[in-house]
Amino acid sequence: MFNLANTHRSIRAYTSQDVDDNLLNDLLMTGLRSSSSGNMQTWSVIVTRDEAQKQKLYEAHYEQPMVLQAPLVLTFCSDVFRMREWIRVNNSKQSFDDFLGFLTGAVDAVIAAQTICLAAESQGLGICYMGTTWWSADDIIKILGLPQGVFPVTSIVLGHPAEDPPLRDRLPLELLVHREQYHILTDAEIKAAHAARERSAWARYNANEELREALAEAGITKVTDFYTSEYKYSKELHQRVSEMLAETLKKQGLWL
């Protein structure tokens, strides 16, 4: 398990080989057995195989080719709808239609997703998470027919790898792990801790001729410039998506 976790790579290219139904069910069962707040299991996963549905998801996920290449797209959702329906049919006092209900289900959904990903990788399959689930939550809700109380949290593509990419760099452990209390780094510590990652990331960007030319044209000379530029995670993007998420949570009955 240590080796499996420490050698994870996101796979973005897949063969045409399908994933056997029995294997898929075994993988989904590992998600079912994952830790869950209060054992309420307020999460759901939508399994997409249909090519027409995948085409819609491809467009929602900013036309990432892996959505069409991989045989499966799994969309994990915070789901208090099912819990509230159970409460309703038993004529009990309602709850969970609020932000805490959403967050509780969101955490459960991500725990289940990661369990399934580890199980899939143990069987030689590849996976890749799609952060664009947040960016297009409103569209994904329509595509998948999600009722009030259900909200997409994360998505993965799943299939047989058609690539063997190298391990990506990670930050030093001491940047993420704090002992007893949070440690705020000095400016010098920040620069030293990020130096290796900046070098490897900049080299990777410049290895792509099209990206290298775009960065030069935009006057981007640092990795941090790139991260907050229009090519990556600009403030304008964050503001627009944040406003959409807040509005969509309200529509789904999951706000304050």
The pLDDT value given to residue 147: 99
CATH 3.40.109.10 boundaries in the chain? 2-165
The pLDDT value given to residue 256: 84
Only one residue has tokens 């994870």, namely: 8
The stretches in the chain having pLDDT less than 70 are: none
The pLDDT value given to residue 164: 98
The CA distance from 191 to 152, in Å, is 36
The pLDDT value given to residue 27: 99
Determine how many CB atoms are found less than 10 A away from the CB of residue 192. Answer: 12
Which of the four CATH numbers 3.40.109.10, 1.10.10.10, 2.30.130.10, 1.10.1740.110 does domain 2-165 have? 3.40.109.10
Q: Which residues pair with 221 in a beta bridge?
A: none
pLDDT one-digit tens code per residue, 198-233:
999 999 999 999 999 999 999 999 999 999 999 999
Whether the CB-CB separation of 37 and 108 falls below 8 Å is answered with yes
The dihedral through the CA atoms of 57, 59, 62, 64 has a sign that is positive
Spatial neighbors of 92 by CB under 8 A, at least 6 apart, are none
The CA distance from 118 to 1, in Å, is 9
